[in-house]
Chains A and B, each alone.
Chain A
Amino acid sequence: MSELQPAVAPRAVKALVQRIERDAARLERGVAFMEVCGTHTHAIARAGIRRMLPPNVRLISGPGCPVCVTPIDYMDRAVALARRADTIVATFGDLVRVPSSSSSLERESAAGHDVRIVYSPRDTLRIARENPDKHVVFLAVGFETTLPGIAAMLEEAELAQLANVRILAGAKLIEPPLRALIADGEIAVDGFLLPGHVSVILGADFYAFLEQELAVPGVIAGFAPADILLGVSRLVELALEGSARVENLYPRAVSQRGNPVARELLARWFEPEDSRWRGLGEIPLSGLRLRERFAHRDANRLEMQLDPTREPRGCRCGDMLKGKIEPHQCPLFDRACTPLNPVGACMVSGEGTCAAWYRHERLEVAR
């Protein structure tokens, strides 16, 4: 019921595109809006939205895919855990093909190590019950949308006294990179298409800092093509007005105050820490680690034989995540780096910028 009716959608999309064209013609200079949600990146590529927009309205992809921003040493630790004979690694499907320095979880699985793909963090509990003599480590990557569920899973593990459940925390927060990107100043962002489902947890009020401190406008948008175009249309209008307002265009899912229950659970289990982002480097207090009193749930406390960390050569995921280049401008794109043989994380994740381009736009853009 909350999805937009297919009958209305094509006409609304057409009207919104016309509206954007009309308003964009009045812009004095070209504008660039950044989406910071991989699901937006994917939806934009899938619906071909870039090709609907006038040339002076550019959409650039920011660091919104948790898989893409996960640094390679995290994958090294995940691989090292998988290699332990007494450990089962449970993970979202997104991570299994991400290269580590010397391997990937997919390859470790082929080598006989126990890697389980799960749909929900809750599936970890079942695996833990079925394998009481093994450590079961869930790979906890994600932003504020995903982490509360992982905290809830840990809560259940405590209640059920499942001592063999652990997580490898690789969680990220959305606010620090937005600040870092603007402070960096290397790219001009005229507005943010804010992540709809992160905002379900954080609430629309959370983004007041955009207007008050960074003076950059933003719109919280849903994921149907009409939702996204509505957001872009509003961003163009805000650019014309010179306004730095933040608006919530996804009120069916996002409230002003968000989900306080989820945020409390998150705060109970996790605390901010300085964290490295692939491509963006270290950003202060941008990640989450388990609080000290939950050390017994921390997979980092298990012994690991780590491979030396080696970043892939020539990969420009970093520039991509900052919105500086588009995938086809990377020398590896569609040559050394393809979904079957990904070099950088942006190609691995289904919602990675490169994968989305490869799948949906590769042969339709000039190289």
Chain B
Amino acid sequence: MKRNDRILLGHGAGGRLSHELVTGTILPAFDNPYLATLSDSAVLDALPPGRPALTTDGFVVDPPVFPGGDLGYLSVCGTVNDLSVAGAKPLWLTLALILEEGLERELLDTFVQGAARAAREAGVLLVAGDTKVVPRGKGDRAYAVTTGLGVVPPGREVSDRKLRPGDVVIASGTLGDHGATILASRHDLSAADLGSDCAPLASLVATLFAAGIDVHSMHDPTRGGVATTCYESAVRSGVRMVLEEELLPVRGDVRAVCDLLGLEPLYLASEGRALVWVAPEDEARALAALRSHPLGRGATRIGTVLERTDGRSPLLLRTTLGIERPLDMLSGLDLPRIC
């Protein structure tokens, strides 16, 4: 065993070991002038015109490295995507890592490289960070917390308030790939072609706005999946939505993972997909714009916004048999079941 192959408590103590970790592992990955000063705060430039958007997110994932991503990559994508679907251009990010004593240095390197790669892809700068180490057994290898600051350009509004009956719901690609990938890893299922969809959506969303599309609302269907995201959005905006089972883009292997574990793809997380609501007359242009981008090749309409009907479910699924059934939010954990 090499001498420096594991994280020690001392790496979080703020002394020489901490300094070695920051300058040896972290700084080289995120080379930028704001971070390089290692000051108490990153002092940034004036924001471009528009309204600032700020978001934060914590990340725990088991396994921490999975086909298509890792904890670090995911933690940057998640925050970038929360800004992007709010219509903001993501600019600056912070990253805090909570590491468990004994974590393999190699894993940490993977997380740091993953976060750096996601930041590059998203065109954001990671300008501040922190690392803490907790005693062995007091954490699960590593947790990541990212905070992101962006700007919504003047005149742009993306909000559930803008949803109108008749609007169409577009998914930017196949649904549930990330959730199915994680579940497959946890339950010893192997699927050669299956990987997480995890990706930063900043440039895909920019393409949509560059095409002049009036995006009414936008969300990323992460935890709880498409069903939960649409349900919440319908409730917030006081409308009803219907999803068409026939149109839902779900990969065969994702469906198979669900069938094996007794779960529904509509409740699985995606980490690199956007749901986009536009007026019906904008559907074709929105689809064309999305499909022109590598992350939006699989974009397709999945449903429609309807008038609210009191006392009935805010979200419906129209099945391939033509029956409409209500879809609920995910309750608790979606546990694999045998019966």
Contact = CB atoms under 8 A, between A and B. Distances in A.
- The answer to A–B direct touch (Cβ < 8 A) is yes
Interface of A: 6, 9-10, 13, 38-39, 45-48, 51-52, 65-67, 92-94, 96-97, 117, 119, 123, 142, 146, 225, 338-340, 349-351, 358-364
A351 B339 CA distance: 6
B210 interface: no
Contacts, number: 88
Interface in B298-329: 311-313, 319-326, 328
Nearest to B312: A363
7 cross-chain pairs, A with B, having the tightest CB-CB distances, nearest first: A93-B335, A48-B323, A339-B331, A363-B313, A94-B337, A93-B336, A340-B331
A142 B337 CA distance: 12
Contacts of A339: 328, 331-332
B46 interface: no
A146 B323 contact: no
B335 to A, nearest CB: 3
Contact of B321 (A47, A94, A349, A350): A47
Given A47-B319, A363-B326, 10 more contacts: A9-B320, A13-B321, A48-B325, A93-B335, A94-B335, A96-B335, A119-B336, A225-B321, A349-B339, A350-B337
A360 B335 CA distance: 18
A10 B322 contact: yes
- What does DSSP make chain B's interface, helix, strand, loop or mixed? loop
A360 B322 CA distance: 15
A47 B331 contact: no
Contacts of A96: 335
Contacts of B319: 47-48
B187 interface: yes
A93 B262 CA distance: 10
Given A10-B321, A10-B322, A51-B323, A364 B313 contact: yes
Contacts of A364: 312-313, 324-326
A51 B325 CA distance: 10
B206 interface: no
- Label chain A's interface by main secondary structure: helix
B320 A117 contact: no
A354 to B, nearest CB: 13
A13 B322 CA distance: 10
A128 to B, nearest CB: 16
Contacts of A10: 320-322
A10 B245 CA distance: 13
Interface centre among A9, A47, A67, A350 (most CB of B within 10 A): A350
Contacts of B321: 9-10, 13, 47-48, 52, 225
B338 A361 contact: no
A196 to B, nearest CB: 12
Contact of B336 (A51, A117, A142, A340): A117
Contact of A362 (B188, B322, B323, B326): B326
A119 B187 contact: yes
Nearest to B328: A359
A93 to B, nearest CB: 3
A363 B325 CA distance: 9
B235 interface: no
Contacts of B323: 47-48, 51-52
Contacts of B191: none
B35 interface: no
A361 B325 contact: yes
Contact of A117 (B188, B260, B335): B335
A119 B258 CA distance: 12
A52 B324 CA distance: 11
Contacts of B337: 92-94, 349-351
A340 B330 CA distance: 9
Contacts of B188: 119, 123
13 contacts: A9-B321, A46-B325, A67-B339, A92-B337, A93-B336, A94-B337, A97-B335, A119-B261, A119-B338, A142-B338, A350-B339, A363-B326, A364-B324
